[in-house]
Amino acid sequence: MTPEPQAPDARSDDPLANKAQAWSALFSEPMSALVQRYTASVGFDKRLAAADIAGSLAHARMLARQAVITAGDLADIERGMAQIQAEIAAGRFEWQLALEDVHLNIEARLTALVGDAGKRLHTGRSRNDQVATDVRLWLRGEIDQLAPLLADMQRALVELAAQHAHTVMPGFTHLQVAQPVSLAHHLLAYVEMFARDAERLADVRRRTNRLPLGAAALAGTSYPLDRESVATELGFDGVCQNSLDAVSDRDFAIEFCAFAAITMVHVSRLAEELVLWMSQNFGFIDLADRYCTGSSIMPQKRNPDVAELARGKSARVIGHLQALLVLMKGQPLTYNKDNQEDKEPLFDTVDTLAATLRIMAEMVSGIVVKPQALRAAVTRGHATATDLADYLVKKGLPFRDAHETVAHAVRLAIEQGVDLAALPLATLQGLHPAVGEDVFEVLTPEGSMAARKVLGGTAPEQVLAQVARHRGRLVKV
Ligand code: ARG
């Protein structure tokens, strides 16, 4: 555990704890304690420490290569940073609120450890390009950990689907029974959604992975920096090409939150279906006990809390996207302190999404399917009415007439209290003489499904081909 930042102490005789002195001799009085608390971000942005140190080391090495600092200075900086890294890892680093943020905390500690070399680190750099670099580096690392979680989520769905290409269930529109589909087909719809999310994530990564460092405060710097070499050392794909944009752009964070919000909407829709499917009135599935909770008053209850929470947590992620959009919309170029407010929404978006994907993938793998309930549901809504119409069209009727004939058939079925598929042949023939014994091949849910062989349709052979495609695409490397 990292100790919490210490509260500002006005009587401190540590010069680094006095922000007035951290700025310059221009300030005639120390910052008020309230302002210190209000402006400080170290409580949350210390999470960027590893990125901050990596960025500083790459900057320092480049400064030495460009002879802006000496090899001796660089050696001091590397030694100091190694110690700081160790202190942070051991939870011994003393974060100071008076030093505002992660950047000033680390720099102050470096200077305390190695003296003047620490003070030279900030040559040709500003916290404006520094923080933009840190956030990008950090987010890139998080993206690289989220991508496999998205793949796991897809794999869980694909493997469940692989077992249910022949399991019929009602496909719904307007939440009314529409046509028979396989459970596999239904599950693979979510795989398509998460596959698009993965594409969006890869796309966000490309635009995140650009180096702002070298933009300095906003205008660039007069030191002979080699930005490209810093980008290469830090694994960036390139450098930001306009210094003003480099320090003020947070599009990458907004895009990331948009990706996350869309992904969470997909998770939420899936979660909603699991909740419905598990309710007694659907009874399509069971969720493993380890993902359910009981009630303190109703002994019979097993509640799908995890699915409900996943659905609920989509709200906060959508909110974070909104927050970042509003945060940016009124900002004139270039850096404004408003941007400090980008971190908590971004951090929480990453944490919420990662935790949600992890638990949902696990829960999906543990779903117990009840095929009889699914099949019974499909025989309760005249789900093969379209198939009967298509059958009549194949016998020569115009589609509109076939549609009308089937409407009469459904009406009869409702009157007799049976599903369309259960009407006797004579009744159907009474509606139209073209109906033959072969009508029952298309009136069963299985017949209906098998007929939808079109690419992307619910026929088992199509669905199994999709399972194979997804498996190939999702092979673990
Ligand atoms: N903590 C600040 C942030 O998160 C760092 C940059 C501050 N720069 C400045 N000029 N005040 O945005």
Taking the C-alpha atoms of residue 364 and residue 155, their distance in angstroms, rounded to an integer, is 10
Taking the C-alpha atoms of residue 97 and residue 173, their distance in angstroms, rounded to an integer, is 56
Ligand 1 center from residue 111 Cα (angstroms): 20
Query: 163 and 194 in one domain?
Result: yes
Using pLDDT thresholds of 50, 70 and 90, give the confidence band for residue 332: very high
Per-residue pLDDT, 15: 40
Positive or negative: CA dihedral 65, 69, 72, 73: negative
Which of 131, 331, 336 to probe ligand 1 with, by most ligand atoms within 8 A of CB? 131
Query: 354 and 291 in one domain?
Result: yes
Peptide linkage before 2 cis (omega within 30 of 0):
no
Taking residues 451-467, report their average pLDDT: 97
Ligand 1 center from residue 108 Cα (angstroms): 15
Taking the C-alpha atoms of residue 277 and residue 249, their distance in angstroms, rounded to an integer, is 44
Q: Is the CB of 225 under 6 A from ligand 1?
A: no
Which of 100, 340, 344 to probe ligand 1 with, by most ligand atoms within 8 A of CB? 340
Query: 428 and 354 in one domain?
Result: no
Ligand 1 center from residue 19 Cα (angstroms): 14
Query: 422 and 286 in one domain?
Result: no
Residue 217 CA: nearest ligand 1 atom is: 10
Query: 109 and 156 in one domain?
Result: no
CA angle 58, 64, 68 (to 5 degrees): 115
Per-residue pLDDT, 381: 85
Indicate whether 207 belongs to any domain: yes
Residue 335 CA: nearest ligand 1 atom is: 10
Q: Is the CB of 334 under 6 A from ligand 1?
A: no
Q: Is the CB of 128 under 6 A from ligand 1?
A: yes
Three-class DSSP labels, the chain? CCCCCECCCCCCCCHHHCHHHHHCCCCCCCCCHHHHHHHCCHHHHHHHHHHHHHHHHHHHHHHHHCCCCCHHHHHHHHHHHHHHHHHHHCCCCCCEHHHCCHHHHHHHHHHHHHCHHHHHCCCCCCHHHHHHHHHHHHHHHHHHHHHHHHHHHHHHHHHHHHCCCCCEEEEEECCEEEEEEEHHHHHHHHHHHHHHHHHHHHHHHHHHCEECCCCCCCCCCCCCCCHHHHHHHCCCCEECCCHHHHHHCCHHHHHHHHHHHHHHHHHHHHHHHHHHHHCCCCCCEECCHHHCECCCCCCCCCECHHHHHHHHHHHHHHHHHHHHHHHHHCCCCCCCHHHHHHHHHHHHHHHHHHHHHHHHHHHHHCCEECHHHHHHHHCCCCCCHHHHHHHHHHCCCCHHHHHHHHHHHHHHHHHHCCCHHHCCHHHHHHHCCCCCCCHHHHHCHHHHHHHCCCCCCCCHHHHHHHHHHHHHHCCCC
The mean pLDDT value of the chain amounts to: 94
Query: 403 and 371 in one domain?
Result: no
pLDDT tens profile 6-37: 554 444 444 444 554 556 788 888 888 999 99
The yes-or-no verdict on residue 157 having pLDDT over 70 is yes
pLDDT tens profile 342-383: 999 999 999 999 999 999 999 999 999 999 999 999 998 888
Taking the C-alpha atoms of residue 190 and residue 457, their distance in angstroms, rounded to an integer, is 15
Q: Is the CB of 337 under 6 A from ligand 1?
A: yes
Which of 46, 101, 129, 213 to probe ligand 1 with, by most ligand atoms within 8 A of CB? 101
Taking the C-alpha atoms of residue 190 and residue 421, their distance in angstroms, rounded to an integer, is 30
Per-residue pLDDT, 106: 98
**Of 89, 123, 157, at which residue does a domain stop?**
123
Q: Is the CB of 248 under 6 A from ligand 1?
A: no
Task: Write the CB contacts of 450 (distance below 8 Å, at least 6 apart in sequence).
Answer: 459, 460
Indicate whether 134 belongs to any domain: yes
Residue 72's CATH number: 1.10.275.10
Q: Is the CB of 131 under 6 A from ligand 1?
A: yes
Q: Is the CB of 47 under 6 A from ligand 1?
A: no
The residue assigned the tokens 């210390």 is 46
Question: Is 270 exposed, middle or buried (CB count within 10 Å of its CB: 0-12, 13-18, 19+)?
Answer: buried
Range of the domain at 437: 380-475
Indicate whether 442 belongs to any domain: yes
Indicate whether 22 belongs to any domain: no
Q: Is the CB of 127 under 6 A from ligand 1?
A: yes
Cross-strand pairs, 170: 180
Residue 155's CATH number: 1.20.200.10
Ligand 1 center from residue 420 Cα (angstroms): 68
Catalytic residue among 24, 28, 174, 222: 174
Taking residues 247-256, report their average pLDDT: 98
Residue 400's CATH number: 1.10.40.30
Indicate whether 351 belongs to any domain: yes
Ligand 1 center from residue 116 Cα (angstroms): 23
Per-residue pLDDT, 9: 46
Ligand 1 center from residue 86 Cα (angstroms): 25
pLDDT tens profile 168-209: 999 999 999 999 999 999 999 999 999 999 999 999 999 999
Indicate whether 183 belongs to any domain: yes
Per-residue pLDDT, 299: 79
In the chain, the number of structural domains is 3
Ligand 1 center from residue 140 Cα (angstroms): 20
The yes-or-no verdict on residue 253 having pLDDT over 60 is yes
Per-residue pLDDT, 185: 98
Q: Is the CB of 52 under 6 A from ligand 1?
A: no
295 is a catalytic site residue: yes
Per-residue pLDDT, 80: 98
Query: 394 and 327 in one domain?
Result: no
Per-residue pLDDT, 30: 87
- The C-alpha torsion from 183 through 151 and 357 to 145, rounded to 10°, is 180
Query: 448 and 351 in one domain?
Result: no
Query: 186 and 38 in one domain?
Result: no
Distance of alpha carbon 371 from its chain centroid, rounded? 32
pLDDT tens profile 52-71: 999 999 999 999 999 999 99
Indicate whether 23 belongs to any domain: no
Per-residue pLDDT, 22: 57
Query: 295 and 393 in one domain?
Result: no
Indicate whether 2 belongs to any domain: no
Taking the C-alpha atoms of residue 381 and residue 169, their distance in angstroms, rounded to an integer, is 11
Cross-strand pairs, 286: 368
Query: 72 and 170 in one domain?
Result: no
Ligand 1 center from residue 130 Cα (angstroms): 9
Question: Is 50 exposed, middle or buried (CB count within 10 Å of its CB: 0-12, 13-18, 19+)?
Answer: middle
pLDDT tens profile 272-282: 999 999 999 99
Residue 343 CA: nearest ligand 1 atom is: 4
**Of 68, 91, 123, at which residue does a domain stop?**
123
Q: Is the CB of 101 under 6 A from ligand 1?
A: yes
Catalytic residue among 103, 166, 182, 295: 295
**Of 343, 375, 407, at which residue does a domain stop?**
375
User: What angle separates helix 305-329 from helix 251-278, to the nearest 10 degrees?
Assistant: 160
Q: Is the CB of 46 under 6 A from ligand 1?
A: no
pLDDT tens profile 83-133: 999 999 999 999 999 999 999 999 999 999 999 999 999 999 999 999 999
Nearest CA to ligand 1 atom 12: 340
Query: 173 and 280 in one domain?
Result: yes
